[in-house]
Chains A and B, each alone.
Chain A
């Protein structure tokens, strides 16, 4: 039990230690007390746009109801500087995403960790330590 918590703590520690800078206040849009984690969900759309690239995933709840969530990434420029291309994620890909939920209850999240279809962790921070 404790080991499981510690492992998760380590994982979450990594997730949550991304400094935040963008063209908007992170704390005004997202609630750090509302971590999100969706495993093996399907990408329904990628928007390679500014000020943030976005991807949308279908999430099925325990009752089988499917909802579509919108996840904010960094800008395409920052993603490109960190190894992404516009084809890194595409419709139909299965991903695991961890992040933070919007304060206003919208099905909107700030992606902080994305594990891509090949199992590799992708840079995701909307904002990064040196100000991008």
Chain B
């Protein structure tokens, strides 16, 4: 009797676990326009928002005094977490070069920079809130996680640095295409991964992000990935961030008590 019960529990647990793994990606992974069970538009309060059940905020697109779209606010999501391919725009595909495939196939989960409390780079986003601070000349992303860090985008008309040092967030310059901010970034290091699966890139990575705020509560981020060393052709992905009104960033010092990396097993992979 006890054995049967134990067996039944194990079976049920396995089924539940399978269901658990098969769930659609959560909000921060959700490609734009594809609502997932955890999409903040449906259940924003479950993880972090104050007050469960709040819908995605609605309203007109905010604008600065000079009429530009104002991206300011606390956001959640907007980039890949588990698998960059989840954001592929229809018709786009990820095609690794032999170099890129070799790198990706060799990656182990324990070596994921994010698991080791290093920055996400671009286009990856950590599953924590982040704030946009916008001035007439700069846009800053303030990240609660994966490390307490920031990204800066120059919108003052400057050009790229002539020979930028390789960095985690690169050298970003933004220009306006109507209501869309086009952010061109070069000067990346090759250390970060695009996702838990370990999609790679080289120092030749060049990203072009088209960022739009079609309404108060939505930030659409379309990113073209260009890296002829790692990918045989460019590809475009699109993710959506959700406004988190009333939220504030909190301190998150990832390195404080990081115990995970030493327990991660096997190849880079599942979310």
Report A's interface with B, CB cutoff 8 A: 1, 4-5, 8-9, 12-13, 15-29, 32-33, 35, 47, 49-52, 54, 70, 72, 75-78, 80-82, 102-104, 106, 108, 125, 127-132
B256 with A25: CB separation less than 8 A:
no
CB distance from B266 to the nearest CB of A (A): 6
The contact string, 1 if C-beta is below 8 Å from chain A, for chain B 249-271, is: 01111111111110111101111
CB distance from A34 to the nearest CB of B (A): 9
- Expressed in whole angstroms, the Cα–Cα distance for A50 and B149 within the complex equals 15
A54 with B257: CB separation less than 8 A:
yes
**CB proximity to A under 8 Å, residues B57-84:** 76-77, 81-82
Asked whether any CB of chain A lies closer than 8 Å to the CB of B196, the reply is: yes
For this complex, 17 residue pairs linking A to B, each with C-beta atoms less than 8 Å apart, are A12-B13, A19-B25, A23-B260, A24-B261, A27-B269, A27-B270, A29-B263, A29-B265, A33-B14, A50-B256, A54-B259, A82-B47, A103-B263, A125-B47, A130-B27, A130-B44, A132-B76
Asked whether any CB of chain A lies closer than 8 Å to the CB of B185, the reply is: no
Residues of chain A within 8 A of B196, CB atoms compared: 24-25, 28
Residues of chain B within 8 A of A75, CB atoms compared: 128, 145, 252
Among B19, B253, B260, contact of A17 (Cβ-Cβ < 8 Å): B19
A103 with B265: CB separation less than 8 A:
yes
User: Quick one: closest A residue to B195, CB to CB?
Assistant: A25
Among A33, A81, A131, contact of B27 (Cβ-Cβ < 8 Å): A131
Give me 9 other A-B pairs in contact (C-beta within 8 A), A19-B20, A23-B146 excluded. A12-B13, A23-B254, A24-B115, A25-B264, A27-B270, A32-B21, A47-B257, A51-B117, A131-B77
Residues of chain B within 8 A of A51, CB atoms compared: 117, 145, 252, 254, 256-258, 260
Report B's interface with A, CB cutoff 8 A: 1, 4-5, 8-9, 12-14, 16-21, 23, 25-29, 37-40, 43-44, 46-50, 76-77, 81-82, 109-110, 112, 114-115, 117, 126-129, 144-146, 196, 242, 247, 250-261, 263-266, 268-271
CB distance from B236 to the nearest CB of A (A): 22
Among B48, B82, B258, contact of A132 (Cβ-Cβ < 8 Å): B48
B47 with A81: CB separation less than 8 A:
yes
B145 with A129: CB separation less than 8 A:
no
A130 with B254: CB separation less than 8 A:
no
A127 with B13: CB separation less than 8 A:
no
- Expressed in whole angstroms, the Cα–Cα distance for A50 and B255 within the complex equals 7
Residues of chain A within 8 A of B37, CB atoms compared: 19, 129
- Expressed in whole angstroms, the Cα–Cα distance for A13 and B47 within the complex equals 19
B269 with A50: CB separation less than 8 A:
no
- Expressed in whole angstroms, the Cα–Cα distance for A21 and B195 within the complex equals 11
Residues of chain A within 8 A of B129, CB atoms compared: 132
Residues of chain B within 8 A of A77, CB atoms compared: 48, 128, 144, 250-252
Among B48, B269, B270, contact of A81 (Cβ-Cβ < 8 Å): B48
Residues of chain A within 8 A of B13, CB atoms compared: 12, 16, 33, 35
A16 with B19: CB separation less than 8 A:
yes
A5 with B76: CB separation less than 8 A:
no
